């Protein structure tokens, strides 16, 4: 299955990235010469996505200018300048701008490197893994040892069939949520109109036994502070050397 629409969550304030984000939105901070959001957009375009909603708030004018220059996807803006909606509320609002159907959800400040060029990409594999009959959400996950810039905490335990439950030390196969989801838009049809955290729907899917995950290929990066930029760029250089 090819998923042809997506939403990129990009409206956060980037407070931990200050003072850089005093003058630039976090998704436009460059890592190895490339704006962070472009890593996400490029991955979506490669996976066959055609239309993407991006929400904006902090330094929204800069985001609008940058997105207008991105030509590989049709980009629709979900404007949160008047009120931030948190990740859940922002997603629920943005999905209303897309027709019902399967959709990717990604974050503008999380990305991965090191996929094999001779194999399906992580998002293509995630789309193939997602089964709306059995799953509310399918998440891209990563082993803690394959992360850079992360806080060192696991998020979920993954069963042999990919089923996810909240992390417990005694549980099997601990993994970190890698910031990419495949789902059907209808899963958020009953979402609150106000701001809320997407964890509400992670827990709903777990309670129904319908949260699943698959492990990404390569290495996952999150850049949350100015100091983390150099660490991420060094990891990218290391992977490029061994490619």
The pLDDT tens digits of the residues spanning 70-126 come to 999 999 999 999 999 999 999 999 999 999 999 999 999 899 998 888 899 999 999
Average pLDDT estimate for 181-207:
96
Q: Nearest 10 degrees: CA dihedral of 167, 199, 137, 210?
A: 60
Say if CB 94 and CB 7 are below 8 A apart: yes
Enter the tokens of residue 111: 């990305």
Higher pLDDT, 162 or 13: 162
Residue 20 has φ and ψ, to the nearest 5°, of -60, -45
- Would you state the pLDDT for residue 199? 96
- Would you state the pLDDT for residue 153? 92
- Would you state the pLDDT for residue 49? 97
Q: pLDDT averaged over the chain?
A: 94
Query: What secondary structure letter does DSSP report for 81?
Result: S
Nearest to 141 by CA among 185, 103, 174, 102: 174
What is the reported pTM? Answer: 0.93
Q: What proportion of the chain, given as a percentage, has pLDDT over 90? A: 84
Go through the chain and tell me how many residues it has. Answer: 243
Strands 102-107 and 164-166: unpaired
- Superfamily of domain 5-242, CATH level 4: Spore Coat Polysaccharide Biosynthesis Protein SpsA; Chain A (3.90.550.10)
Work out the number of other CB atoms within 10 angstroms of the CB of residue 59. Answer: 19
Using the CB atoms, write b or e for 130-169: b if 16+ within 10 Å: bebeebbbbbbbbbeebbbbbeeebbbbbeeebbbeebee
CA distance 233 to 223: 10
Enter the tokens of residue 103: 């959709």
CA distance 83 to 232: 31
Say if CB 58 and CB 15 are below 8 A apart: no
**Structural domain boundaries of the chain?**
5-242
Say if CB 10 and CB 54 are below 8 A apart: yes
Average pLDDT estimate for 215-229:
92
Say if CB 167 and CB 174 are below 8 A apart: yes
């Amino acid at each position: 299955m090819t998923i042809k629409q997506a939403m990129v969550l990009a409206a956060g304030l980037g407070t931990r990235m200050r003072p850089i984000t005093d003058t630039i939105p976090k998704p436009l901070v460059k890592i190895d010469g490339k704006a962070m959001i472009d890593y996400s957009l490029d991955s979506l375009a490669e996976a066959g996505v055609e239309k993407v909603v991006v929400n904006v708030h902090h330094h929204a004018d800069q985001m609008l200018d940058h997105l207008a220059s991105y030509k590989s996807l049709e980009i629709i803006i979900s404007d949160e300048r008047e009120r931030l909606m948190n990740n859940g509320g922002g997603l629920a609002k943005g999905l209303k701008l897309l027709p019902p159907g399967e959709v990717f959800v990604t974050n503008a400040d999380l990305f991965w490197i090191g996929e094999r060029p001779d194999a399906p990409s992580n998002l293509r594999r995630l789309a193939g893994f997602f089964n709306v009959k059995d799953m509310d959400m399918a998440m891209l996950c990563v082993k803690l040892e394959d992360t850079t810039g992360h806080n060192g905490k696991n998020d979920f335990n993954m069963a042999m069939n990919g089923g996810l439950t909240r992390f417990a030390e005694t549980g099997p196969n601990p993994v970190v949520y890698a910031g990419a989801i495949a789902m059907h838009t209808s899963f958020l049809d009953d979402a609150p109109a106000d701001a809320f955290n997407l964890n509400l729907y992670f827990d709903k899917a777990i309670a129904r036994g319908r949260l699943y995950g698959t492990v990404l290929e390569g290495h996952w990066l999150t850049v949350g502070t100015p100091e983390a930029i150099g660490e991420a760029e060094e990891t990218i250089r290391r992977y490029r050397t061994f490619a």
